[in-house]
Chain A
Amino acid sequence: MNRKYELVYVVSPVASDDQVADLHTQVEAIVQRIGGQIEKTDNWGRRKLAYEIGRHKEGTYVLEVINGGGDLMKEIDRRLKVIDLVIRHLIVRVDEEQGVVDRTRVRRADTSRRRRVARGLPPDRQPGEGQRGEAEDDRDDRFEMGEDLR
C-alpha cells in the first residue's frame, strides 16, 4: 500500500532550531520503522500565525511529504498529538487529488491540441500567440492583498 501524504506541523516559537531538527528526526524514525519514506522536507521557517494558539503568535512551519500507508500516518498523528512542542499539525492525503489534477491537465492539453489541428494550426501554441500577457503573466494581481499575513 503506497499512498502519498503531506504532513505540516507548526512548532512552538520557544523551540530552538535544534529542537525543530530533532522533531524531524523523530518523524523520520517513525517513518523508517513502519516502512515508508520521506519524499521531501521543507522548512518554511518562522511565520506569524493568523490567530493565537495558546498565547503563541508565531510558529515554525515544517512540511513533509511522506510515502506510506495509513497505519504509519496514524502513528505519526498519535505521536504529534503527544508532543507539546508541536502546537498544530495537519495530515492530508494527496496522491488521489494529484492524479485528478494531472489527468485534467493532460485532457485539457489533448483537447486544445485536437482543436488546433482541426482548425489547421500547429498543435502547440506558438510564442506570441493568444491574448497579450496570457501565458507570460501566470500570477494575476487583480485580487492581490497585503502581505501582512505572510
Chain B
Amino acid sequence: MNGRKSFGGGGRGKAAAGQQGKDGQRRPMFRRRKVCKFCSDKIDDINYKDVRMLMPFVPERAKVLPRRISGTCAMHQRKLRTAIMRARQLALIPYTTE
C-alpha cells in the first residue's frame, strides 16, 4: 500500500506522515500548468468563421469556457469572446442548449 509515493516529489513529506490515515485527503494535488493555446500555437487571428477552432471553448451548455479552466491569456480570451459572439449571431455556435 505504498501507492502514494508514486505521486512524485511534492508529496514526499506527506507520504511519511501518511500513516495517520485521513491525511490522504489533504495530499497536495498535482496540477499541470495551463498555457494559453493561442500563444503556444501562435494563432494570431481568432476568427469567428473557424467553428472548429472555437468549439473547444464552448462546452456543453454553450457558455464561454472561463479562463481559469482553459488557461487562455487575457488578450486571447477577449478576442475569443468576440469571435464566439459573432459566430453565435450567425447561428454557427448556439447561445444555449436545452
* Complex CA distance for A90 and B89, rounded to whole angstroms: 8
Q: How many pairs of A and B residues are in contact by the CB < 8 Å rule?
A: 49
Residues of A contacting B92 in the complex (Cβ-Cβ under 8 angstroms):
50, 149
Within 8 A of B (CB), among A96-124: 97-98, 100-101, 104-105, 108
1/0 contact trace for B25-66 toward A, CB 8 Å? 000000000000100011011001101100111000000000
* Complex CA distance for A59 and B90, rounded to whole angstroms: 10
In this assembly, does B18 line the interface, its C-beta being within 8 Å of a C-beta of chain A? no
In this assembly, does A61 line the interface, its C-beta being within 8 Å of a C-beta of chain B? yes
* Complex CA distance for A140 and B38, rounded to whole angstroms: 11
Number of B positions contacting A (CB below 8 A):
21
Within 8 A of B (CB), among A66-99: 88, 90, 92, 97-98
Residues of B contacting A143 in the complex (Cβ-Cβ under 8 angstroms):
37, 55-57
Name 9 A/B residue pairs within 8 A (Cβ), A-sorted.
A8-B49, A50-B92, A88-B89, A90-B86, A92-B48, A100-B44, A101-B45, A143-B37, A143-B57
In this assembly, does B88 line the interface, its C-beta being within 8 Å of a C-beta of chain A? yes
In this assembly, does B91 line the interface, its C-beta being within 8 Å of a C-beta of chain A? yes
Tell me the interface secondary structure of chain B in the complex. Answer: loop
Q: Is the CB of B88 within 8 A of A50?
A: yes
Residues of B within 8 A of A (CB): 37, 41-42, 44-45, 48-49, 51-52, 55-57, 86, 88-95
1/0 contact trace for A36-58 toward B, CB 8 Å? 00000000000001110100000
Residues of A within 8 A of B (CB): 8, 10, 49-51, 53, 59, 61, 63, 88, 90, 92, 97-98, 100-101, 104-105, 108, 140, 143-145, 149-150
* Complex CA distance for A50 and B37, rounded to whole angstroms: 25
Q: Which 5 A-B pairs have the closest CB atoms?
A: A143-B56, A49-B91, A50-B94, A101-B44, A101-B45
Residues of A contacting B42 in the complex (Cβ-Cβ under 8 angstroms):
108
